[in-house]
Amino acid sequence: MKDLKNYIDHTLLAATATESQIRNLCEEAKEHGFYAVCVNSSYVALAKNFLKDSEVKLAATIGFPLGAASASSKIQEAKKAVLDGAGEIDMVINIGFFKDRKYDEVKSEIQEIKKTIGNNLLKVIIETCYLTDDEIEKVSELVMQAGADYVKTSTGFGTRGASLKDVQIMKKVVGDKIKIKASGGIRDAETARQYIELGVSRIGTSSGIKIISNK
């Protein structure tokens, strides 16, 4: 297992996030060697500037946190985020569409965003707290078929975050074909390691410093 810091997307997505807090997030990521920072799309240009001359990657959320924005608006948001300097996109699917079994529309939206961002990484948030086990299987399959790079458990703004069971289901479907990101409620090293042992490649957390300090 790699060092825990290499799995962490150091995250600040609160509605109240300020410029100084984004600066602090980026400075922490550089200091502790986290893999990436993850911010809302309006802060991408700012974070890119704060991360210059570092190896830390930059991820932006799209359609966050509800996923219910129009596909065209998500596509434009993703396009702008990449232009502003994001190398990774964390998008939220339209959960209501998925619940209505509009599978072609859900898949098409993912495909269009991936096409828009080109070689940049696409992580697709399925918000497992709102899904049955069967639905987690189905949507993981859709994400994989749509050409995304990662399937991701949660926004952290739903009724709960990730669970080990969620990841087990996702891993059973995607295997090693695409990667998995777990996020929401992961606040200590022991829990982080449990997810990694199940096959998670990235962990989204606002508790990254605590995780690596208590390893």
Q: Which of 84, 114, 152, 166 is labelled catalytic?
A: 152
- Per-residue tokens: 149: 């790079």
Residue 104: active-site member: no
Residue 202: per-residue pLDDT: 98
Query: What average pLDDT does the structure give for the chain?
Result: 97
Residue 181: active-site member: yes
Fold classified for 4-213:
TIM Barrel (3.20.20)
Query: pTM of the predicted model, to two decimals?
Result: 0.97
> Residue 215 — very low, low, confident or very high, per pLDDT cuts 50/70/90?
low
- Give 40-95 pLDDT, tens digit per residue: 999 999 999 999 999 999 999 999 999 999 999 999 999 999 999 999 999 999 99
Residue 79: active-site member: no
**Alpha-carbon distance 215 to 67, whole Å?**
34
- Per-residue tokens: 134: 């069967």
> Residue 2 — very low, low, confident or very high, per pLDDT cuts 50/70/90?
confident
Judge whether residue 1 has pLDDT over 80.
Answer: no
Residue 152: per-residue pLDDT: 98
**Alpha-carbon distance 195 to 68, whole Å?**
28
Q: Which of 84, 90, 149, 166 is labelled catalytic?
A: 90
